[in-house]
Structure 1
Amino acid sequence: MQHEFYDMLMESQYWLPETMVAYQRSQLAQLLRHARANVPFYERRLDPVFTPSGDIDWDRWEEIPIVRRSDMVEHRDAMQARLLPRGHGPVGIIETSGSTGLPIRITISTIATYSAAALRWRGHRWQNLDWSKTTLSRLGDGDHALAWPEGENKGPWGLPGDSAAANGTLWSISRLFDTPDVMRFYKQFGASYLNAGPNMAHINALDVQRLGIDVRIEAILAQGNVIRQADRDICREVFGARMVEIYSAKEGGPIANPCPLDRLHVNSEGCLVEILDADGRPCAVGETGRVIVTPFYQTAQPLIRYEQGDWATVGAPCSCGRHHQVIDAIRGRSIAIFHHPDGRSVANLMPDETSSLLASRYWQLAQVGANAYELRYVPTDTESPGNEAAVRALFHQTFFADADLTFVRSAAIPLTSGGKLVEYLSEWRRPDR
């Protein structure tokens, strides 16, 4: 099934837009009917698009209410399918981190896992990755990741049946190893690629530069956070590595991959992506809005018009010959994480110059009280603080003018339980939660 879907993807990447729309609607129609019949959460929620005859009125698609992250917590049981379409099971459960204050559990069908793998392999082809080479992953794989003192050989990582892929190996190591150990494993396994979050890759590069470790990386497969130009620059400078942006999420699955021209194409065969403005209308080319995703094969716990939690900019059509929807950039989080006592919420980001003003390798902004925040940072020069006064002014302009901000300089910033460096973190439990 995986191989058949992959073969279709290699053909469908050149479909005309109208052919892709027809395919998407055929997949959506099956998902909508399945959810309405088998998932209590959607029994009435999808009424706007169903006509009295049972047909689907696509002109009313935007009347379907958007699913929020909070829905997945408060209505988890009601979002589970009583029955699955034939061949879609069995199911498994994955969990997201609670960095936004709302950790969630998602039930995943086997067919969703298969389709995700096929979309990932096509993305590898677009970037000319060599499946016969070795990849080292430090993303971890569940709680047992910590039990691998010497790493786990997970076997080939490319397309099953491919002659080159049969010679490749994916090694996975604990997500809590520090940079010297990560680089030791990388050399020990003879790896060519590193699978890591962009923030952690940035930190690894700075540590390698500081410690004088000699290591070259062909490509870093980056996911889990927004990739900044500074991440790309330092990884190329230190490792000689190109950074391959993979836009995916545990909830929404593999959302977009970069084509050979490094433009981010939505995986239109696997999901519908809407980028909406503040009024809920589709953004035009060059405009930035909220990402709303509907994964087609997520039938165990359907997510129909799910707010992914990111801001993205709509891109113009690509000249590579593929007609998939293009995303110019992932800008950051759209879900409010910081809340003022008066009820205001914001999902803003600190300006790009924050790191240079702080003279910092990396930093983290945390809400620690009702109107109190800490900005923790690792300075390049431990004897000299950054320009904290300028950063304080930027903070008040970006978030709340009356909030208290404390600066904390440290040698390191702890990772989350999932092994990520989170730049924006809520450690304050709101009274209404």
Structure 2
Amino acid sequence: MNLFELTLRFNGFPIAEAKRKLAAIQAISEAEYENYVLDTRQTIVEYHLKENSNYREFVGKLDRFSWEDIPVMQKSDLQKPLQERLSKGFTTKNSYVNKTSGSSGHPFIFAKDKFCHALTWAEILNRFGWYGIDFNSSLQARFYGIPLDTLGFQKERLKDRLSSRYRFPIFDLSEEKMEGFLKTFRRKKFDYINGYTSSIVLFAKFLKQKGIVLKEVCPSLKQCVVTSEMLYETDKKLMEATFGVPVINEYGASELDLIAFTNPKDEFVVNSETLFVEILDENNKTVPHGESGRIVITSLYNKAHPLIRYDLGDTGILSKNSTFKKPILQELVGRTNDVAVLPGGRTVPGLTFYYVTKSVIEDDGNVKEFVIEQTKLDTFKIIYVSEQILTSEEIADIKKALFTYLENDLTLEFERVTVLDRKNRGKLKQFISRI
């Protein structure tokens, strides 16, 4: 057992047992896998109905035990003291406790029993292992935020040392800082990049402007893994061109597990070992594969805290080629809570504005990154970082695109800034509704 896994074991997380359990799950045949999923999800529901009074109250009286009759959990349902939500026998002392990022607007504290948390790490180790990445020996270039309080800062730095990673703090992504990033890549033998998508994209744009392919200055580099934010196909192509290595997409949630990960065949494979993922419509009915809906997830092994039919706040599409053993996330559309309401009464995903604007605003490489805020029913502000201020012609092109795809007579405001605000530990929220 290596240092990374010994650290997990030392902290009470039975990683060896979790890896054996994961291997046993993966050994289940395709023919038997549906039974595994159905039996395991029923077992976890029955457990919490028996051992968790808060969950019994939430579910209420069921006339019959049908999966579709189990109510869907919203994040707002979990915004109460953790002690009230823990199952019998679990405390904050014998569980893994953390808090969600709050990027959805509904932060809360959650808990996992220690075996469940070990399973999370077993899943992560397994997926990164698809690419030969070893957390004990593969050096990671980590593009993440970091807590600024002394205790949190030192804790993250210790975790970095134990996990063979070098952190590039991303609260300051000025050109001067990225010059420093590049110097570090020249002298360190990084195996892979890992971090928030928007920050790594910005570094890729910096390299493109310099005419540099990162692998040529850091020959040891093999992969780039992006996480936590939307990955657009245009950005993926940019990163692969400027880094000279494949880009792998990771989708996860701290309260759950790793949710989906790009496999070597470039399929975005959903974790079916420890999670049950559903795509539901507005009436909580399952939509056919190939159609868009809300991503609702059940944690199959968390005994400390129920997350059953939990609405993550994202929308997505499962491929028509999905099976119980190998669900494939065809598309991750965006967050359901980031919704724009238009004066004409239409409701559209907020990221629609981002998609349309992105198709126009980045053509010449002047604009490095941007976010969109809805400040009034008919008013949207585009806040952007660029070398030069947008011209009247560029602004006219953006307005034309938005009017074509959405609605006429919208008021657009533009604000050029030096750096975008990354309050949430470095995450960048690309659309914000303020109405």
Identity %, equivalent residues: 19
- Provide the C-alpha distance between the structure 1 equivalents of 2:186 and 2:46, rounded to a whole number of angstroms: 51
2:432 is matched with which residue?
Answer: 425
- Provide the C-alpha distance between the structure 2 equivalents of 1:113 and 1:240, rounded to a whole number of angstroms: 34
2:144 is matched with which residue?
Answer: 139
Is the CA contact (8 Å cut-off) linking 2:101 and 2:107 kept in structure 1?
Answer: yes
TM (norm. structure 2) is: 0.80
Deviates more, 1:228-237 or 1:121-130: 121-130
- Provide the C-alpha distance between the structure 2 equivalents of 1:84 and 1:341, rounded to a whole number of angstroms: 52
Q: After the TM superposition, which residues 49-88 of structure 1 pair with which residues of structure 2 at under 5 Å, given as runs?
A: 51=64, 57=65, 60-73=66-79, 75-77=80-82, 80-84=85-89
Q: Deviations over 1:208-229 (max 9, x none)?
A: 2334566324211111012111
Is the CA contact (8 Å cut-off) linking 2:339 and 2:350 kept in structure 1?
Answer: no
- Provide the C-alpha distance between the structure 2 equivalents of 1:310 and 1:142, rounded to a whole number of angstroms: 26
How far residue 379 of structure 1 moved from its aligned partner, in angstroms, is 3.9
Is the CA contact (8 Å cut-off) linking 1:201 and 1:231 kept in structure 2?
Answer: no
Is 1:414 paired with 2:433?
Answer: no
Is the CA contact (8 Å cut-off) linking 1:147 and 1:174 kept in structure 2?
Answer: no
Indicate the SS of the match to 1:202: helix
Is 1:355 paired with 2:358?
Answer: yes
Match of 1:326 among 325, 328, 332: 328
2:309 is matched with which residue?
Answer: 305
Q: Deviations over 1:288-308 (max 9, x none)?
A: 211001112333332111111
- Provide the C-alpha distance between the structure 2 equivalents of 1:366 and 1:87, rounded to a whole number of angstroms: 38
Q: Cα 1:218–1:255, aligned 2, differ >3 Å: closer, same or farther?
A: same
Is 1:289 paired with 2:284?
Answer: no
Is the CA contact (8 Å cut-off) linking 1:194 and 1:220 kept in structure 2?
Answer: yes
TM (norm. structure 1) is: 0.81
Q: Cα 1:363–1:316, aligned 2, differ >3 Å: closer, same or farther?
A: same
Q: Cα 1:396–1:252, aligned 2, differ >3 Å: closer, same or farther?
A: farther
Q: After the TM superposition, which residues 5-154 of structure 1 pair with which residues of structure 2 at under 5 Å, given as runs?
A: 5-47=18-60, 51=64, 57=65, 60-73=66-79, 75-77=80-82, 80-84=85-89, 89-98=94-103, 100-131=104-135, 132-140=137-145, 142-144=147-149, 147=153, 154=160
Unaligned runs of 5+ in 1: 52-56, 158-168
Give the aligned residue type for 1:37: K
How far residue 248 of structure 1 moved from its aligned partner, in angstroms, is 0.3
Give the aligned residue type for 1:323: K
How far residue 173 of structure 1 moved from its aligned partner, in angstroms, is 4.2
Q: Cα 1:177–1:387, aligned 2, differ >3 Å: closer, same or farther?
A: closer
- Provide the C-alpha distance between the structure 2 equivalents of 1:110 and 1:35, rounded to a whole number of angstroms: 17
How far residue 107 of structure 1 moved from its aligned partner, in angstroms, is 3.0
Is 1:197 paired with 2:187?
Answer: no
How far residue 175 of structure 1 moved from its aligned partner, in angstroms, is 3.6
How far residue 252 of structure 1 moved from its aligned partner, in angstroms, is 2.8
The number of equivalent residue pairs is 405
Q: Cα 1:187–1:422, aligned 2, differ >3 Å: closer, same or farther?
A: farther
Q: Cα 1:68–1:397, aligned 2, differ >3 Å: closer, same or farther?
A: farther
2:265 is matched with which residue?
Answer: 261
Q: Cα 1:152–1:2, aligned 2, differ >3 Å: closer, same or farther?
A: closer
Indicate the SS of the match to 1:226: coil
Indicate the SS of the match to 2:116: helix
How far residue 141 of structure 1 moved from its aligned partner, in angstroms, is 5.1
Is 1:392 paired with 2:395?
Answer: no
Unaligned runs of 5+ in 2: 1-13, 216-220
Is the CA contact (8 Å cut-off) linking 1:197 and 1:222 kept in structure 2?
Answer: yes
How far residue 285 of structure 1 moved from its aligned partner, in angstroms, is 2.8
Q: Give the root-mean-square deviation of aligned CA atoms.
A: 3.4
Is the CA contact (8 Å cut-off) linking 1:136 and 1:193 kept in structure 2?
Answer: yes
How far residue 265 of structure 1 moved from its aligned partner, in angstroms, is 1.8
How far residue 243 of structure 1 moved from its aligned partner, in angstroms, is 1.1
Q: Cα 1:177–1:219, aligned 2, differ >3 Å: closer, same or farther?
A: farther
Q: Cα 1:193–1:96, aligned 2, differ >3 Å: closer, same or farther?
A: same
Q: Cα 1:181–1:425, aligned 2, differ >3 Å: closer, same or farther?
A: farther
Is the CA contact (8 Å cut-off) linking 1:252 and 1:295 kept in structure 2?
Answer: yes
Indicate the SS of the match to 1:246: strand
